[in-house]
Structure 1
């Protein structure tokens, strides 16, 4: 498309943005109008994309980080001939795939769900890493950002990481239109303020009038020719560009234009320009192979092995068996044991440093390119990235997250390092899987199974060594559990997971010596939970006592309770959990202080069966 043809295309993109929002009675047309010239130049001159093959390995990747400007994206799809005009006008209506903010669950050309600002560029970094270090295909990653979202810390995690990795296949297009939701942005039209920040992190920066099509075209060419640096194109634009009544006017954010038909006429009327988007060069993705037999590590029953260690060993073995496995860590690989994978497969290992939002975002970007990522850090630190995890679920992203150092059982480090809310956080994520193994063989089996699951998968590991209680041939289906002790004389059931499984088994031995029989269930699959086994235990024993190294809200106790939420008879349910604010102490002291050690479990059981004894 020639430069002279870009101006009518840009006008059409503005008109269609206005029309879509007007038809919906809601939306963000003014935010779309400011970036229309950027989109026109990208679509008509620089994007290489086969819309008939969204999975083409050579396709450029485009991310609309300012996801509220979705009318512009859908108008571009219409110009590319993949969305009809009638579909465009279904914007934001029930059943339409043209949602208020775009998602890949509905639209195949959308790379990742956006709308929670500050996430597009971090995910784009993951995609660019894939292209540069793994795919080794010369596609480009284009991310259209708004100036408001540059206040988000996650953006600067991404900017620093991209500069450090020399991602010259990544271009950030920043639509600096001065106005945010409630008024001016922090730096308004001060392009220099943004330029200094990007340059400080090693980016090549181009400042440009975002409505000068020739200048924008040259800026894009400069980005494509820059080597060993990502490029930030800082485009000074006007919100609501092209319609005098709304140009650079406060109070028009997120609203249809008040006189839409007059605005359309002012912009030149509706048109149906079609763009022949350039196809990518032929390319092959070489990583989508499963290269060998998985040989998981074996341990002797009775050995003491930390589940974090078993995770690292299993991940390294999985990486040997499958060439599509990648690992990421947040500069704690010696603690999470992700370093085992790094030593075996350094070409597929990504150090994200202490930047948990970028850690999860990079995993999402790698998953979008067909890789199977395992991202690990301390369980407590995933809370910083919860919004990225939530958005990953909206994207339908298949990522594996592994949180180590969970619970008070870590000991002396104190509460800042203790993951005590992670099970609740991950259970609340749509279509998530939450696993909490108690021994090395169980951990290895679950790590391997995670690779084949859908959605967000979370594995909780423990710092300290725990006894190996299962043989290497034992199976642990997701959604299952293990009954470790049972008899016809059981008077209640202890339900535990992870470290508390071992405490529950010890408590059961104490009680057995006193003539009190109890059932013990290892609830390694916290979500989905094994309803059938829990219901059978309730029928047989009448009382379930849950024990968890986690806060009482949202963890194992709630998972067990929900197993009876469909109207089936509810047994007596009692919960032992961490209700205090821990300090520094040994692991054994921590468990005792929280009331979840073997003695505390046994004491609670005695009271429940009315067999309390005086000591």
Structure 2
């Protein structure tokens, strides 16, 4: 039976150095964009160092080589898996765990790596309220200097091992669990196991527009703003619903009223409410969504009203490559903020 051989000290130190280099680059990148998740990057630095520079075999100059190991980001339920629990900041433990995983055949391995948020960042590591925030500019130099001082061999280059050229092509056939989950039909189980469910939540500190006792029904939209002389129906979801309400306030101050709808669910879509609102607002509908047009809210509304005469749908959505930035900056860049909603409403009068 193959036995585990601990990497030599130079290799272990090299992996530690790579982890700190990853931390430095993560901080520089997120500071340059003034957005991102540097503390999450720092918590996973040793994992990425050992995985990409010790455990995986691949050709950096031939990324599509069929013999290369693959790195796949996925979510799963750990039924019937082989598992190891390790210190996610101990490169030697990680080296051993990845080696052990390679020895197990017939079932996948799950490595549970215990880590600290913001590992290696003085005054930030394992503290609350640092998620999703770049390092403050007045602290960057000190933190980078401290990380740089921990790199013992700055010029050492670690290269991944090359794959075996005679490796068989990857088997892309469906993967099955070695044994089914141990519950029977009708058993009470956690809700995430009852079927596919999608819940849209938002990170920005948006206003609460519903009371705790508000009743919601699948397929029944909420008309959250309306008057007797609404000129356009605006449909938003999540953060764009709040932008639509802000646009409604701006327009109301100029004597123009709009109807604002929260569809609540896109499938099934409340076509009856949307059609009734469209007919009450000169047949004008504007949809606003914080992602691409394809397969989203706008297309769902178009499908619902496409056969109705006299209805025009204007779609505001992300049209370029996504990027990092402050939420309000991104809403403006992609033309889906309250400002651009108000402009789109005004344009309907010009038409």
Relative to the length of structure 1, the TM-score reads 0.29
Q: Taking CA–CA contacts closer than 8 Å with sequence separation of 6 or more, which of the two structures ends up with the larger relative contact order?
A: 2
Relative to the length of structure 2, the TM-score reads 0.50
**Which structure carries more helix by proportion?**
1
